[in-house]
Structure 1
Amino acid sequence: MTLKKEKVKQVGKWIVLFFLIMFVIGTDTFLISPLIPTLQSEFGVPTEMAGWMMGAYTLGSAVFALIAGPLSDGWDRRKVLLSGLVCFAVSTYLCGFAVDFWTMCLFRLLAGVSAAFTAPQVWASIPALFPPAKIGKALGVAYAGLAVSQALGVPIGSFLAAGNWSLPFWTIGGFSLLLAVIAFFNLPVIKPQHHQNAKPSILGRYVPLLTSGQARGTFLAYFFVHLGSSAAFAFLGKWMADRFQLSVDETGYVIIFLGRGNLLGSLCSSYVIKALSQFKTMAAGMLVVIAAYIALPYVSSVIVVKGAYFFIFAIMGILFPLMVGLLNNLNPTIRGTISSLATSTMNTATTIGAWVSGMLYAAFSSYAAVCMFTGICLAGSLLVFLSSGVLTSHANTRKPKTEPAG
């Protein structure tokens, strides 16, 4: 009984640790958004270039995730996570010492590269460390870290930057380094499952995904989800300003509200999936969100908009851990590759979604066109999920196998 209690306690520590790691990575992603006006003035950057202080991070994460995943599948995941987290802490801390636009972009790029090595290890390590019955819950809690960062990243950055714009970077960097120390003393060795033959090359690790129709379909569906969601989110602030004349800080409160919905959904995800099944959860959730997005532009009250976005993001908070679980179960031997490819897919879809939504909003002078595009993307995602068979295949309805914890 003592050993069992000790194991439960250790699992609880891992859940909290993974939650906090995803929180700091997510917060660092959103951190620079409220600081752009201040940094523009500090570095004398024109508006058309200021976005690269955000884009440098996303670019580094998207590109290097494709390399980090296959490499990590041949290494001890603990070492990869620790190395990535330390580099992430240092590069984020250095952002606070940037002297001009180009040094800020450089440090943001390095932070994105470090995040590309760190975040996928969280998703890939959970199935290796947790018993099958706890995997869904652990994925939901880890995703909740991202949800909380979305809800709190903007106000935290704004509050800390009130005294000094460097303070948010120093705080996140220091806290990340502390998490690395905690991880060093608490995480066990997490050796990957090795193929029976010689270790494949980086490109070789993608072959099982590229040759699997189910894998291609699942990643395409994941792409469509982020394409639609990012399109609607990208111009939420402009629509709120145009439709309801909200200021930047008032729009920030709306974002906090939807972040709370995302958090609630992610914490409830495993329970909802268990009650309804993967198939019913995905189908019902997607259809409800599609209907909500199509109706959203015609809402005439800010309070109703807050409620609608809380509702939408609560459902998406349920669906995203389910999607991550489906991806991780595609091939247990290359979970790092899968998680990294998912990160690149998400960042690519986010970039394209923001670009398309800008064109639609400008062409039609309406958020309705953007939300219609979102609805079409989500409908396409649902159709691909259903047609791929990933929701109904025997491999995903049974209890998943886990990697040896080492």
Structure 2
Amino acid sequence: MGKLTALFFLILFVIGTDTFLISPLIPTLQELFHISTEYAGWMVGAYALGYAVFALIAGPLSDGWDRKKVMLAGMVCFSVSTMLCGFATGFWSMFLFRFLAGVSAAFTAPQVWAAIPALFPAPKIAKASGIVMAGLASSQAFGIPIGSLLAATHWSFPFFAIGACSLSVALFIYFAMPEMKPNQDQINRISIFRRYTPLLTSRMARRAFLAHFLFQCGFFAAFSFIGKWMTERYYLSVDQVGYAMFFLGLGNMVGSVCGAYVIKKLNRFNTLFAGFLVSIACFIVLPHLPSVSAFAGVYILIFVNMGIAFPMILGLLNSLNPTIRGTISSLANSIMYAATTLGSWIAGMIYGAFNGFSAVGVFAAICFAGSLLSFVLSGILSAPSKPTKELAS
């Protein structure tokens, strides 16, 4: 079991690192490719767009395939497309390679969450899931800063490094992952899109997923342009941005580790309400802080909230109907990356139009306020952990 836990941790670590690897590189790539800020956001959004489009079908489709083969093929394609980013000669080639990396990740990551309950005994599932979730948090604490330090030598080095690491992980999959062929009754299933019907027809589910979308849209809109803002406002180099990202990632890890304790003490409603209000205030004051240490200190609070809120939100969504958790996970991931795509695009437009991070911060605050309102109106924060009548039917 230890080998599998380590394997799944590494898969999400490299995927999580690659997701926002390009964020601290935006000023460098803007100058290199001669593109405006409005277009720069799409270098982040391209990866998210590929993931968002294909996550909706990747999860349900792979239910009828050998998960090991899907995971292995996805990781190899992920490795190749990420390394190709290091050879990009302009905006459109970078966009294409980032899009393909997102598509590959959309087929790989869902296999991890589907494999855990199938390969681990019931008493160890929660612990394994927590360790694997830490792979995403640690990617922000360590992966992105390491990428920034490599980029200080040459902008392409982070892509080559992540690509090579991903290829090593693919070899790990080949030797450590057991075959996971579907049973015959798993092959003949209802159509992919009909699996989403219970969610689309539920008012609670619709509002909860809208809240999830707004939460992710606001957070990633601001996060996509953090590197550019710190470079322009505080005159930091790429490697210095990497150091700052390290401390922000630590905030995410702290939130992930302490989240269960905080929720137990405050309950779900109070935790979400307080965390979102603090984050809204932080987004508004961020652009006006006089020093990079003050900026990082305030942003850490947002990352701590992200570490607490994100797993809780996923748990709330999965509680809508335990019988279709695979479909819910696919939809939640697709929505997250769709929000990342839209958020980074909008952030690029308003950053360029208003010449700075202030408008981005206000946009993020509005998204968080809308998310909080939608969560409250959905009733999911006070709902029991079992499917509602409309979802169970």
Which bracket does the TM-score occupy, shorter chain normalised?
A: 0.7 to 0.9
Greater Cα offset, 163-172 or 379-388:
163-172
Change (3 A) 1:244 1:127: same
Greater Cα offset, 318-327 or 234-243:
234-243
Change (3 A) 1:314 1:180: same
Give distance in 2, aligned partners of 1:164 and 1:293. 32
Query: How many residues were matched structurally?
Result: 385
Give distance in 1, aligned partners of 2:66 and 2:227. 42
Change (3 A) 1:314 1:231: same
Identify the residue that residue 71 of structure 1 maps to in structure 2: 61
Is residue 2:47 matched to residue 1:47?
Answer: no
- Counterpart pick for 1:287 among 267, 277, 282: 277
Identify the residue that residue 382 of structure 1 maps to in structure 2: 372
Aligned 8 A contact 1:88 1:114 in 2: yes
How far 1:33 moved relative to its partner?
A: 4.5
How far 1:32 moved relative to its partner?
A: 3.9
What is the one-letter code of the residue matched to 1:342? A
How far 1:321 moved relative to its partner?
A: 1.2
Identify the residue that residue 328 of structure 2 maps to in structure 1: 338
Change (3 A) 1:125 1:391: farther
Is residue 2:132 matched to residue 1:142?
Answer: yes
Change (3 A) 1:389 1:127: farther
Give distance in 1, aligned partners of 2:30 and 2:277. 41
Identify the residue that residue 24 of structure 1 maps to in structure 2: 14
Change (3 A) 1:238 1:360: same
Identify the residue that residue 391 of structure 2 maps to in structure 1: none
Is residue 2:299 matched to residue 1:309?
Answer: yes
What is the one-letter code of the residue matched to 1:181? L
Matches within 5 A, 1:234-249: 234-241=224-231, 243-249=233-239
What are the ranges of 5 or more consecutive residues in structure 2 without an aligned counterpart?
388-393
How far 1:25 moved relative to its partner?
A: 0.8
Give distance in 1, aligned partners of 2:122 and 2:305. 23
Give distance in 2, aligned partners of 1:50 and 1:285. 30
Give distance in 2, aligned partners of 1:108 and 1:358. 17
Change (3 A) 1:330 1:84: farther
How far 1:63 moved relative to its partner?
A: 1.4
Deviations along 1:301-341, whole A, 9 cap, x unmatched? 33222211112201211111111222333334443332232
Give distance in 2, aligned partners of 1:300 and 1:45. 31
Deviations along 1:19-64, whole A, 9 cap, x unmatched? 21111112222334555677778xx733246665544433322211
Give distance in 2, aligned partners of 1:61 and 1:154. 19
Is residue 2:316 matched to residue 1:326?
Answer: yes
Give distance in 2, aligned partners of 1:13 and 1:210. 38
Change (3 A) 1:376 1:36: closer
Matches within 5 A, 1:7-406: 10=1, 12-33=2-23, 45-48=33-36, 53-96=43-86, 104-129=94-119, 137-161=127-151, 167-188=157-178, 199-241=189-231, 243-361=233-351, 367-395=357-385
Root-mean-square deviation (CA), in Å? 3.5
What is the one-letter code of the residue matched to 1:310? I
Identify the residue that residue 6 of structure 1 maps to in structure 2: none
Aligned 8 A contact 1:147 1:259 in 2: yes
TM norm structure 2: 0.82
Aligned partner of residue 362 in structure 2, secondary structure = helix
Give distance in 2, aligned partners of 1:309 and 1:117. 32
Give distance in 1, aligned partners of 2:132 and 2:369. 26
Give distance in 2, aligned partners of 1:336 and 1:328. 9
What are the ranges of 5 or more consecutive residues in structure 1 without an aligned counterpart?
1-9, 398-406
Give distance in 2, aligned partners of 1:186 and 1:281. 39
